[in-house]
Every structure is written in C-alpha cells, then in structure tokens.
Amino acid sequence: VPINQLANSDPTERLRRHYLSDFLRTFRIMDDDNSRTLDMKEFLKGLSDYGVLIEKEEFLITLRPPMSNARKEVVLQAFKKLDKTGDGVITIEDLRGVYNVKNHPKYRNGEWTEDQEFHKFLDSFDSPDDKDGKEFLNYYSGVSASIDTDIYFIVMMKNAWKLD
C-alpha cells in the first residue's frame, strides 16, 4: 500500500491536515496587511473577531517557560520568610519588619506613607492586600522568565530576600 494512501486513511492524519488547513485560512484572514505576519493589533483583533477571550495574565503564563525546581524552591523560601504568621498569606502585618520601605523614593520624598508602600508592594503580585503562595510564585515566574540561568536567579533571590 503506498504511503500516501495510508496517510489519507489514517483518521488522525486527516484531522491534523483539516485543522492545519483551518488554522492557515484563519491566519490569512487575520493578516489584514498581507504581510504574512501578525502584529499584536492584528492578533488581538483576530481573537476578538473569533470570540476568543484571553486574560492578559493567562496569556503570559501560557507563553512563559516553566521554572526549574531550584527556582521554585528559592521562591518558596522567600515566601515563607515573608509569611511571618505562617498562615500561607502575605499581609501588611507580615511585611512589617521584613520589607523596608525607607529607601523607596516615594516614601523618602513624603509622597507615600509606609502603609501605602506596603499596599503597592502587595498589589504588584495581583490581588489587593493579601497574597497567597500561588500569586507570589506566579509573580516570580514572570521575573524568572527574563533571567537565563538558575544560578543568577537564585543569587538574585537570596540577595533580595536575605536568604541563607
């Protein structure tokens, strides 16, 4: 039996070709300027046109490379250090005495109070006022994506959080 007949009779192969064809057709439709590339505007418009809604965070998490176990471990060490009460959530009370706001420019110039800086710091992880380990790990997963080596990431984390 010739190989092309096998490929045509294999249901998985037929499905693959069908969806590849659909994908290429969709790509051409989304490529408004016929450049054979999609810029961000075309991509987002195309997703919207097809009724696809993706949260920004979900999109970034999907594209982000996974963190190694060594990186996850050092992030967990930092989280445990911040979580003074041990309840699995970082609050403003946990930050007092652990996170020093005194060198932050907006605190130094009087624009922010200590509590405002704590709120801003916690908000950088996502939801207001408290952060669980998942949000903390997700935040540092984003930081990790821009650092090439485990060693550099681990040294950075240990220096930033004064870990042993």
pLDDT digits (tens, 9 = 90+) for 127-142: 555 567 788 888 899 8
Residue 64 forms part of a structural domain: no
pLDDT at 23: 86
Residue 60 forms part of a structural domain: no
Same domain, 154 and 103: yes
Number of domains in the chain: 2
Same domain, 155 and 84: yes
Contact 113, 51 (CB under 8 A): no
- Model confidence at 94, pLDDT cuts 50, 70, 90, reads confident
Contact 32, 38 (CB under 8 A): no
Residue 9 forms part of a structural domain: yes
Domain of 76? 69-161
Residue 61 forms part of a structural domain: no
Residue 132 forms part of a structural domain: yes
Same domain, 81 and 10: no
Q: What are phi and psi of 90, to 5 degrees?
A: -95, 125
pLDDT at 1: 45
- Paired tokens of 34: 């016929």
